[in-house]
Amino acid sequence: MLSLITFFPAVAAIILAVVPKGRPGRFFLRAWVAVAAIEMALVVALWVAYDPRAGYQLTESLPWIPSAGVGYHVGVDGISLPLLAMTAALFLACAVYSLRETRRPRAYVCLFLGLQTVCTGVFVALDLIVFFVFFDLSIVAMYFLIAGWGHGEAAKDAALKFFLYTFVGSVVLLLGFIGLFLASSPHTFDIVALTKADPLAGRGLYAGVVLLALGIGFAIKTPTVPFHTWLPPAHTEAPAAGSAILAGVLLKLGTYGFVRIAMPLLPGAWRRFALVFIILGALSAVYGALVALAQRDFKRMIAYTSVNHMGFVVLGIGAAGVLAGTDAQARTLAVTGAVTQMVSHGLITGALFLLSGVLWDRTGSYDIEAHSGLAGPAPAFAGLTAVAAFASIGIPGFSGFVAEFQIFAGSLGSQVAATAVAVSSIVITAALFLRALQRMLAGPLRLPKTPSGVGRFADLTPREAAAVVPLLVASAAIGVAPRWLLDVIEPAARNLVHLVGG
C-alpha cells in the first residue's frame, strides 16, 4: 500500500515520459490532475485504515543492500500520516493550479510527479539510507523546476544556490547517518532498530557530533536562521506551484527529520542540547518575522514568514527535550503543536504562494507598493488573500492557531524568555500581513506598469479558485474541529515525548 502510494506518481511519470510525441500539453496536465487525485484518494483510504493507537503501520520491509545494513523499510505513524495527507493535498492543488501551464508541459508534469514520489518517500521511510535517497532526490527535482520554469535568468542563479546549499546540508546529514550506523551493533541503518537500540546512549562527544551533523543537515533544509539565505531567492524565482511545494512540503522534510530521526535516535543528546534548538527556534521566529516586515516584494515577504513559522516548529520540538520545569502534558502539547504546525504551514503557505502566482500572472510583479485597490476588480482574489493572510497569522478558526497555541502553551515552562520572544513575533506577522493587505487590496485601483501588465486585473478563474479554496477549507477544518487531526498526532507525539524523556 505504502509502496503503491510512494511509487505510483513516479511510474506515471515514466509512462508519460515515453508516450509518443504529438499529444497536446493539456493531455499531460490533465493526466497529472488524475494521478494526483488518485493519490489523494489512496491517502484518504490509508487514513481510514489507520489505527491511531498502534505504532508504525502498513510497514513493508525488504532486504536491499543487506551487507551494508540497508533495507527497504517503510511505514507510517501519527506523525508521518498527516504530512503524507498534506503532501497529497498540496500536489493536487498544484496540479489543478497548473492546468494552463504552456511551457514544456510534459517535462513539467514529469518533474512534479517525480517530486511527489520522493517527498512521499521521505515521509514513509524507516531506513536512513532510503530516507536519504529520497531526501536528496527532492533537491534535484526542485532544482530543475526552479531553473527551467522560474522567472528568467535570476531563476537559474537561485536554483543553483538552492541546490548547492541544500546539497551541502545533505552531505553533512549523510555523515551523521554514517556516524549512527557505525555506532550501532550490529551495524544497521534501520530507524526502528536504531530507536530501540539507542546506540549513542551515554557517549557524550560522539553523540554530540552526530547530533551536530544531523542538526546542520536538517536546519539547512528547514531552514532555521542562519542557514536560511537560500530560501528567499528560491521562493521568489520559482514558479508558483514550485514555491508552493517548496514551502509546503520540502521545508517539512527538514523539520520531519528532526522528529523522525534526530529526537528518537539521539534522545540523550537531544535533551542535552535542547536549549540550542529552543533558542534557534525562537531566533528564527522573531528574525524571520522582522525581516519579512521589511520586504517590499509580496512573495519574498511570504518566504520570510516561512522562516518565522518553521521557527515555531523548532521551538516546540526543542521544548520537548527540556525535562526540568515541564511535565509530559506540556511536552506533548509542544510536539503535537509542532507537527500540527508543519501540516498547517503547508496548507496555508501553499495557498498564499498560489495566490501570489495569480498576482504574477496578472501583472508580472510582486511589488507591494505598485499594487493598490485590487479588491475592486478582483473581490474573490482579495477575499481569499485576506483569509489566507489571517490564517497565516494564526487567527482562531484556522489551523495555525491550533498549532501555535499548543506550541506556546507547551513551551513556556521550558524556557520563558525564548518562548516569550517567539510569541511576540505573531504580532509582527500580523502587522506585516495587514500592511500588505491594506496597500495592495484597499484604496483606489493602481497596477504596476510592466510588459505583461494588461491594464486590468481579472479576478480568480474557477481553476485558480479550485486550487486555493480546498487548502483553506482544510485549514479551517483543522481550526474549527481539530480532533480528527489531533487524534492521529497526539498518540505519536506522546510516544516521542516518552522516547526523548528517557
Give the residue, chosen from 25, 148, 364, 376, that forms a contact with other proteins under the rule CB under 8 A: 376
HSE of 58, CA atoms in CB hemisphere, 13 A: 23
**Closer CB to other proteins, 271 or 331, in the complex:** 331
How many Cβ atoms are within 10 Å of 19's Cβ, its own excluded?
A: 12
Give the residue, chosen from 151, 161, 187, 272, that forms a contact with other proteins under the rule CB under 8 A: 161
**Closer CB to other proteins, 293 or 500, in the complex:** 293
Which segment (24-32, 131-139, 400-408, 448-456) binds other proteins by CB under 8 A?
Answer: 400-408
Distances (CA, A) of 414 to 240, 316, 323, 334, 426: 39, 10, 8, 10, 20
Main-chain phi, psi angles of 416, to 5 degrees: -65, -50
**Closer CB to other proteins, 37 or 445, in the complex:** 445
**Closer CB to other proteins, 194 or 412, in the complex:** 412
CB of 81 to other proteins, least distance (A): 18
Task: Using alpha carbons, select from 499, 264, 477 the residue that is nearest to residue 486.
Answer: 477
**Closer CB to other proteins, 184 or 392, in the complex:** 392
* Stretch 64-83 residues interacting with other proteins (CB under 8 A): none
Tell me the helices (H) and strands (E) count for the chain, helix number first.
21, 2
**Closer CB to other proteins, 364 or 443, in the complex:** 443
Residue 401 found at the interface with other proteins (CB under 8 A): yes
Residue 305 found at the interface with other proteins (CB under 8 A): no
Residue 377 found at the interface with other proteins (CB under 8 A): no
* Stretch 412-441 residues interacting with other proteins (CB under 8 A): 412-413, 416, 419-420, 423-424, 426-428, 430-431, 434-435, 437-439, 441
Task: Using alpha carbons, select from 337, 483, 341, 502 the residue that is nearest to residue 411.
Answer: 337
What are the cell numbers at 343?
501540516
Binding mask 227-246 for other proteins (x = CB under 8 A): --xx----------------
Task: Using alpha carbons, select from 425, 161, 107, 494 the residue that is nearest to residue 286.
Answer: 425
CB-CB contact of 10 with 114 (8 Å): yes
Residues composing the chain: 502
* Stretch 264-303 residues interacting with other proteins (CB under 8 A): 287, 290-291, 293-295
**Closer CB to other proteins, 192 or 386, in the complex:** 386
Residues 6+ positions from 244 with CB-CB distance below 8 Å? 90, 93, 94, 97, 349, 350, 351, 353, 354, 357
Which segment (16-24, 207-215, 268-276, 369-377) binds other proteins by CB under 8 A?
Answer: 369-377
Residues 6+ positions from 21 with CB-CB distance below 8 Å? none
CA distance 336 to 82: 11
Question: Contact positions toward other proteins, by CB under 8 A?
Answer: 161, 164-165, 226, 229-230, 287, 290-291, 293-295, 325-327, 329-330, 332-333, 336, 372-373, 375-376, 383, 386, 390, 395-397, 401, 405-406, 408-413, 416, 419-420, 423-424, 426-428, 430-431, 434-435, 437-439, 441-444, 482-483, 486, 490, 493-494
